[in-house]
């Protein structure tokens, strides 16, 4: 028992010498956790910056593409009626074909009503899938291209900033 009491100051002295090291270990662990969090925030900021750069590059590509597509008609010929016709031709053709279609539909409606078709048959006759596809193509031509491009750009930007998940094997 006396030997234990004699060894006790030596043990307590060794433990007291280790306390600063233990405190230093916990401090180092906290500092490392803070540095790790800062590094993760910097990585996220870089990813966000990359997404912004992707969006900017897509917008610039859209502008260059539109300039290239419509560049052929950008210069004026100097003849007013030729310039007016060049601008007017595509909307005019769209309206002309729509008026032809509408006229045919009116006459088809009159014929169907006079022939005794009911409402269900009339709808199938006047609005078949071919007509729906034609109207979808027209609306898509005039309005859909920009919406598709914006959807693709949002998808690319989203994919650029999504965190990657790694699964550790067992």
**Residues 97 and 54 occupy one common structural domain:** no
**Residues 120 and 54 occupy one common structural domain:** no
Mean pLDDT of 66-82: 74
**Residues 85 and 149 occupy one common structural domain:** yes
Is a pLDDT exceeding 90 seen at residue 77? no
> Is 83 part of a structural domain of the chain?
yes
Is a pLDDT exceeding 70 seen at residue 134? yes
> Is 96 part of a structural domain of the chain?
yes
> Is 3 part of a structural domain of the chain?
no
What confidence tier does 114 reach under pLDDT thresholds 50, 70, 90? very high
Q: How many domains does the chain have?
A: 2
> Is 111 part of a structural domain of the chain?
yes
Share of the chain above pLDDT 90, in %: 10
**Residues 38 and 55 occupy one common structural domain:** yes
Highest mean pLDDT among 42-51, 64-73, 85-94, 120-129: 120-129
What confidence tier does 76 reach under pLDDT thresholds 50, 70, 90? confident
Say how many Å lie between the first and final Cα of the chain, rounded. Answer: 51
Mean pLDDT of 52-75: 77
**Residues 84 and 148 occupy one common structural domain:** yes
**Residues 148 and 90 occupy one common structural domain:** yes
Residue ending a domain, choose from 54, 71, 88: 71
Domain range for 120 is 79-154
Query: Could you tell me the CA-to-CA distances from 14 to 18, 42, 107, 151 in Å, in that order?
Result: 6, 42, 106, 67
Which of 24-28, 61-65, 116-120 is least confident? 24-28
Query: Could you tell me the CA-to-CA distances from 143 to 63, 87, 92, 116, 148 in Å, in that order?
Result: 17, 18, 17, 38, 10
> Is 63 part of a structural domain of the chain?
yes
What confidence tier does 110 reach under pLDDT thresholds 50, 70, 90? very high
- Please tell me which residue, 168 or 22, carries the higher pLDDT value: 22
88 φ/ψ angles, rounded to the nearest 5 degrees:
-90, -20
């Amino acid at each position: 028992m006396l030997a234990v009491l004699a060894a006790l100051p030596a043990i307590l002295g060794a433990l007291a010498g280790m306390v600063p090291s233990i405190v230093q270990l916990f401090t180092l662990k906290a500092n490392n956790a803070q540095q790790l969090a800062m590094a993760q925030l910097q990585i996220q900021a870089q990813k966000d910056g990359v997404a912004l750069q992707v969006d900017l590059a897509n917008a610039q590509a859209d502008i260059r593409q539109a300039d290239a597509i419509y560049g052929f008609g950008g210069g004026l010929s100097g003849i007013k009626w030729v310039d007016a016709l060049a601008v007017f031709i595509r909307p005019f053709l769209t309206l002309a074909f729509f008026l032809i279609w509408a006229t045919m539909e009116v006459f088809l409606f009159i014929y169907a009503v006079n022939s005794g078709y009911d409402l269900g048959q009339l709808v199938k006759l006047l609005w078949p899938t071919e007509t729906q596809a034609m109207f979808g193509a027209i609306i898509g031509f005039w309005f859909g291209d920009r919406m598709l491009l914006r959807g693709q750009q949002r998808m690319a930007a989203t994919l650029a900033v999504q965190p990657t998940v790694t699964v550790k094997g067992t």
